[in-house]
Amino acid sequence: MTQDELIAEARKHTPDIPRLSGEPWATLEMLPKVTAADAVVVSFEGDEPHRKMFVVLERATGKFVASGLNFRKNCQGH
């Protein structure tokens, strides 16, 4: 994918972020500066399913980009 295609794909994943985060400023309109870089996602998991901690680093430098948790309390049917 090109950088423009990746940016377009990333935009598709942002609409719910203000509501889920409780941060009204977390919108594409409020954050117009876009950066795309080669990155790697390092994830850490335990034995329980659907619980993960992750760190995103720039591939070339190891510079920190983002981190977070990905979990579901109730995984039935997913």
Residue 57: Cβ within 10 Å count: 17
pLDDT the model gives residue 73: 67
Domain range list for the chain: 1-36, 38-78
Residue-wise pLDDT tens digits, 17-64: 999 999 999 999 999 999 999 999 999 999 888 889 999 999 999 999
Residue type at 35 in one-letter notation: T
CA distance 21 to 14: 11
Cα–Cα distance list, 44 to 29, 38, 39, 51, 56 (Å): 32, 20, 17, 9, 12
Cβ proximity of 41 and 58 under 8 Å: no
pLDDT the model gives residue 74: 61
pLDDT the model gives residue 78: 47
Q: Please, where are the H alpha helices in 15-55?
A: 17-21
